[in-house]
Amino acid sequence: MKQKRVAAIHDISCFGKCSLTVALPIISAAGIEVSAVPTAVLSTHTGGFEGYTYRDLTDDILPIANHWQSLDIHFDSIYTGFLGSFEQINIVSEVFDKFKTKDNLIVVDPVMADNGVLYSLFSEKFPSAMKKLCEKADVIVPNITEACLLLEEPYNAGPYTKEYIEALLRRLAALGPQKVILTGVYFDELQLGAASYDAELDKFDYAFSDRVAGYFHGTGDVFGSALVGAILNGHELADSIRIAVDYTAQSIRRTKEAGTDIRFGVNFEAGLPDYIKQLHLS
Ligand code: PXL
């Protein structure tokens, strides 16, 4: 069987386990080749550390893509996450145009906010640019805060109802993507998880896990990467969100039990053998 290949377009936060340092190991463990486009190099991610370095690599993105195009390299998926500026969003949109085919998957995680708050790095106008990028995607993976920003509506802290979640999913799909996966979904205080909508099948699915109290950094990227690995291995959306929710929740539980600083990221590494098993790769 031909090995699948993903282009992962994210920053490298050298310390703190998120973006490329999460996407590379998880998607590789799923048996998929990962080509990396680093959009910036930071000493740490921006979630709770002071004085981090930030080297912008915006000017390198198109030359990398152009070189790959000259080599006739194709991708089964392009997976984007944290993008640092409007210019990067526009350039990534151009990269989509270069590599989109009728059967590959553009996956956009519109990383920009959480818990009702836009990350401090971004201006109020950033969500409308991210919305344009989402319109070009086949799959989007927002959390509820990002979903509300994309739909230009006030944040709702929850707990949610099925009607609310399904209305959000339908409206997000109406922006363009055929598949929408919403994270941070909960109907009561006991469980937390994800909901998905496949517009072509008009089908909703849910996956939950017991809630672990606290906020753990990088979990959106762990979830997104595990999801990309599952989808590209041919799993249905319902199965893919269950695999990604279980893997992320286990990573959080392990980290909580170890008492690790929540800024340092979660221990996703110890769960890789089980993730591979869930994908039926071993
Ligand atoms: O995990 C999302 C993320 C990725 N990259 C950087 C970040 C964040 C979230 O804060 O700061 C640099």
Over residues 208-230, the pLDDT tens digits come to: 999 998 889 999 999 999 999 99
119 lines ligand 1 (CB under 6 A): yes
**For the residues 31-59, what does the mean pLDDT come to?**
96
Distance 84 CA to ligand 1 centre (A): 9
**Confidence check: pLDDT of 38 > 90:** yes
Distance 133 CA to ligand 1 centre (A): 18
> ω into residue 154 within 30 of 0, thus cis?
no
18 lines ligand 1 (CB under 6 A): yes
**For the residues 74-95, what does the mean pLDDT come to?**
97
Closest by Cα among 216, 212, 215 to 264: 216
Pairing relationship of beta strands 77-80 and 5-15 according to DSSP bridges: parallel
> pLDDT of 135-191, one tens digit each?
999 999 999 999 999 999 999 999 999 999 999 999 999 999 999 999 999 999 999
- Which protein residue's CA is at the shortest distance from atom 7 of ligand 1? 45
> pLDDT of 133-143, one tens digit each?
999 999 999 99
Residue-wise over 91-130: b if at least 16 C-beta within 10 A, else e? bbeebbeebeeeebbbbbbbbbbbeeebeeebeeebbebb
Distance 82 CA to ligand 1 centre (A): 6
Q: What is the pLDDT of residue 13?
A: 97
Q: What is the pLDDT of residue 282?
A: 64
Crossing angle of helices 86-99 and 58-70, rounded to 10°: 10
**For the residues 228-237, what does the mean pLDDT come to?**
98
Q: What is the pLDDT of residue 281?
A: 85
Residue-wise over 160-180: b if at least 16 C-beta within 10 A, else e? beeeebeebbeebbebbbebb
- 28-32, 76-80, 210-214, 262-266: which range is least confident on average? 210-214
**For the residues 73-84, what does the mean pLDDT come to?**
97
Atom of ligand 1 nearest to the CA of 19: 4
* 231 confidence band (pLDDT: 50, 70, 90): very high
34 lines ligand 1 (CB under 6 A): no
* 121 confidence band (pLDDT: 50, 70, 90): confident
Rounded Cα–Cα distance for residues 148 and 116 (Å):
9
In the chain, the percentage of residues whose pLDDT exceeds 90 is: 96
Per-chain mean pLDDT for the chain: 97
**Confidence check: pLDDT of 120 > 90:** no
**Helix %, strand %, coil % for the chain, to 5?**
40, 25, 35
* 41 confidence band (pLDDT: 50, 70, 90): very high
Q: What is the pLDDT of residue 220?
A: 97
Please give the model's pTM, rounded to 2 decimal places.
Answer: 0.97
Rounded Cα–Cα distance for residues 216 and 235 (Å):
27
275 lines ligand 1 (CB under 6 A): no
**For the residues 96-105, what does the mean pLDDT come to?**
97
- Write the CA distances from 173 to 16, 112, 130, 138, 279, integer angstroms: 32, 19, 15, 9, 26
13 lines ligand 1 (CB under 6 A): yes
**For the residues 5-27, what does the mean pLDDT come to?**
98
* Cβ(141)–Cβ(107) below 8 Å: yes
Crossing angle of helices 237-258 and 219-232, rounded to 10°: 150
